[in-house]
Structure 1
């Protein structure tokens, strides 16, 4: 069993990113930041996060990245280059091209999780400026064979239990 923490759109927050990291550092195996940190890559606050570049970022981050983790292919992007505020269609095509099982993205600041065509699309919302909800959120994925459990947390560490979901996603 492996765990991934996913955060996005922190827009300059530093101590809050450190709180999230320190709260879960022994619990998760990987930490992903889907862009718009507005921090330089050498900022201690973003340390240990695998980070991509958002439309408000500058210097040093890749625009997108793919990685294999816990038997799954992850594709990570901010989403602005795929017009995620209007549709997931462009991102879905990119996920197919990347052979991704799980896509992590941000940009819209809208918390969401859905399976489209066998691919799990995740947007952790924003820990600074959430839209369509009042909670400032991030996610933890618990990957266990074909079962993926999603937990949503508020910035203060409280789990939003009513948003927990289980996805069956065969490898």
Structure 2
């Protein structure tokens, strides 16, 4: 069992990042872009941390997408702006198929979302600093994904590290073989 923190769109609000890592104690951290920080920031250089460039990031030291294999799962990490996630998930789904992703983490819309489609987990943690949409009154969100061989357990948290009880989801992981 592993705990993955998925965060996005902090837009220069650096102080929130170490606070969440300290409170939620993930094994792996994914940042979906629009940090508006530099790629050499010590927070990004911590072990088991993956980060991509968003449309507001000017440091080209960040890759546009990453596809690490972690805990037996192929992950696609992207910001989403190049996959037109504001319109629908079609381009993102094609990108996920191309890299044979099991889990897809993206941001850009500032709206949290999670679904299992075509045997893949698609997760947007929402913006930790500038939330939009139905859950904007929470003041910012991130997601903690507990990974087991059988399931993805997704729990959303507020920026102060409190779980949002109504935003807890469990998805069965397709068995390969």
TM band (smaller chain): over 0.9
Unaligned runs of 5+ in 1: none
CA shift for structure 1 position 81: 0.1
Partner of 1:31: 29
Equivalent position SS for 1:32: strand
Partner of 1:170: 174
1:68·1:74 contact (CA, 8 Å) conserved in 2? yes
Which residue of 147, 150, 167 maps to 2:151?
Answer: 147
Unaligned runs of 5+ in 2: none
Equivalent position SS for 2:144: strand
Equivalent position SS for 1:160: strand
Equivalent position SS for 2:109: coil
CA RMSD of aligned residues (A): 1.1
Equivalent position SS for 2:58: coil
Structure 1 residues 22-171: aligned runs within 5 Å: 22-24=22-24, 27-48=25-46, 49-59=49-59, 60-132=61-133, 133=135, 134-135=137-138, 136-171=140-175
Cα distance between partner residues in 2 of 1:64 and 1:39: 17
Q: Deviations over 1:95-122 (max 9, x none)?
A: 0000001000000001000111111100
Cα distance between partner residues in 2 of 1:126 and 1:5: 13
Q: Deviations over 1:107-163 (max 9, x none)?
A: 000100011111110000001110112221000000111211101000011100111
Task: Give the total of aligned pairs.
Answer: 169
TM-score by length of 2: 0.92
> Which is worse superposed, 44-53 or 107-116?
44-53
TM-score by length of 1: 0.95
